[in-house]
Amino acid sequence: MSCDELRNRLTKKNGEGLSGNLRQHLRGCSACRGFAERLEIARDLLRLHHADVKPDAGFAGRVTARLEEMGAAEALVWAAGRLLWATVALTLVLASFALRTGPQFAVEAEGVDYLEWILEDTEEAP
Amino acid sequence: MTLSWAMEMPLGATPHESEVSRLVAASRQGDSDAFARLVRLHQRRVFLLVGRFFRRPEDVEELAQETFVTAWRRLETYRGRAPFEHWLTRVCLRCCFHALRRRKREKLVALENEPIAPSANPDAVLEVERLLQELRPVDRFILLMLEGEGWSVAEIAEHLGWTRVNVKVRAHRARRKLRVLLERRVDR
């Protein structure tokens, strides 16, 4: 068994027991023994790593307070978004109203019949 | 103190499933008092989970809060097919994973007075501790579950809601990086 093969197997073994082949190689290879020792230490460190922090009595209150703050902020954003859309919609309505009715009112105000004007102009042309 | 123990441990006065279902339903309607009750029922479990991945108490508090805030926001995705604790565990692990991805380095620290390979050279312990700090947080995340908890690829996939292929690939990368780090010292 090569060192590469052994180290691959050791890394994957999840701390399980060693087979005969692995033990035999380790007996004869100091570099792999060193690697195996460090791998075991690494596994211990990973296994024992823990912050050991417990929640205090006020934790649930802090969570709900945070949710309330978020709710207020999100409601504000939601309202601002709605206001923006309402403004855009109103602007479009007013603009379309102005475009449709503006020239018509102008024509009616002045009492000018543009069709008659065009026909008169056409008839007089040489 | 393992995550498996955390997920199986009784929570003192263990709530009946119907009470949890009632609290979840009320929370979905916006009842913050009901949600606060859910938080109190599950906060110990969440702190144990988060404490596996983060060292500083303020980080554990922050991630625990983020877990419950995320749970509140995504409560409609809980369909009730599995116990609420399983769903909350998944939310918690995913929050931890995403938080670790945003970080560069996180020092591993063991509980005080816990034996670390008692026969090992103390210098070797310090050296390996230093080498592990060079792991990317996402690699450490997977290794903490594989090596720290002894979970299988299938168990990790189930807890996180990831595919097994995804977990296998991440596990392979993390183990390869661990091996490279440990060999760096051994083979010089």
- Beta carbons within 8 Å of B136's beta carbon, 6+ residues apart: B177
pLDDT of residue B5: 45
Residue linked to tokens 């292929």: B165
What confidence tier does B8 reach under pLDDT thresholds 50, 70, 90?
very low
Look up the ipTM and state it: 0.76
CB within 8 Å: A61 and B36:
yes
Helices and strands per DSSP (H, E), number in chain A: 5, 0
Contact residues, chain B, for A57 at CB < 8 Å? none
Q: Give the A-side interface with B, CB within 8 Å.
A: 7-8, 11-12, 14-15, 31, 34-35, 37-55, 59-64, 66-68, 70
Q: What's the pTM value of the predicted model, to 2 decimals?
A: 0.71
> B80 CA to chain A: closest CA distance, Å?
23
**Sign of the CA dihedral running B52, B53, B57, B58:** negative
Gap between the Cα atoms of A23 and A28, Å rounded: 9
Neighbours of B146 (CB within 10 A): 25
Gap between the Cα atoms of B24 and A118, Å rounded: 76
Residue linked to tokens 């024992």: A48
pLDDT in tens, A55-99: 999 999 999 999 988 877 776 676 777 778 888 888 888 888 887
Smallest Cβ distance to A66: which of B50, B69, B178? B69
- Interhelix angle B164-186/B122-132, nearest 10 degrees: 130
CB within 8 Å: B147 and A43:
yes
